[in-house]
Amino acid sequence: MSDHPSCIDISHWQGFPDFEDVAAQGVVACIMKATEGTSYIDPNRATNYVNATAAGIACCTYHWIKPGNAAKQMEFYLSVVDPVGGERMVIDYEEDGLRLQELLEAVEVLKADPRELQVTVYSGHLLKEQLGTDCNDYLAENTDLWLAQYTDGTPSWPSGTYPHWTLWQYSESGEVDGIDDTNVDLNRFDGDNDELVRWISPAGFAPPKPPEPEPSEAVIVDITAPTNLPVLVTVNGAEVQQRRRRPRLRVPRGPDLR
């Protein structure tokens, strides 16, 4: 399994990464913790979101749901993130004591939002044990699965509700240049990088590519050509206007011409 994935997920534990270095390793997507419970806001998310997007990395957020008050937790999540239309919202469903009904209630709140949000459920053994081989039609129709399972082989999942995972967190101890932490979560998407960017971005949108850096030095090109030969110069596909210089005639100089 590659230690340089196309998608990572982070929280304040990873500090403030250098996203230029992160992107240089092929990371095109990042999921960031936004909130937890009904009062906790990740202090690094807003800054990291701006910096990651500027580096050309597509981003979305997740909420760590706790037992009780599922609807209020989602209202808090929405108020903090203030998502745009079609934005992807992720419910981190893993804490002991959570009940399936609480997950369903949380999804209902997000799906009822008029901004037509996309909803993903992150979970591992907890949801696997609660669903078993049964199919929960509401989850199947309104969410997709981000599976947490740390294994070297193909992850296992009951096919009742989700025929297949969409995103797979296969490691919680990765190392990524630009992040001063040896416990970075690494993920694999069920598709190529272009599909991953479309999936993680708001529906119908993709993040703009970062602007080309300004050159630090002038580029000098010296060409020698016959004086009677037309020369056409293009730079980055655009024609450059040239001043044609007439050849100077050598005039003999004598004492009377000085």
Q: Spell out the domain ranges in the chain.
A: 7-200
pLDDT digit string (tens) for the chain, length 258 residues: 445 689 999 999 999 999 999 999 999 999 999 999 999 999 999 999 999 999 999 999 999 999 999 999 999 999 999 999 999 999 999 999 999 999 999 999 999 999 999 999 999 999 999 999 899 999 999 999 999 999 888 898 888 999 899 999 999 999 999 999 889 999 999 999 999 999 999 997 655 555 555 555 655 666 676 766 666 666 666 665 554 444 433 433 333 322
CA distance linking residue 87 with residue 110, whole number of Å: 11
What is the structure's pLDDT at 1? 45
Q: What is the dihedral of CA 206, 212, 213, 215, to 10 degrees?
A: 180
Cα 248 versus chain centre, distance: 60
Say how far apart CA 231 and CA 222 lie, in whole Å.
Answer: 13
CB 31 within 8 A of CB 90: yes
pLDDT, residue 5, reads 86
Residue ranges of E strands in 29-117: 29-36, 40-41, 58-64, 88-92
Length of the chain: 258
Question: What's the pLDDT score for residue 157?
Answer: 87
Yes or no: is domain 7-200 CATH 3.30.1490.110?
Answer: no
Question: How far, in Å, CA of 200 to CA of 193, rounded?
Answer: 11
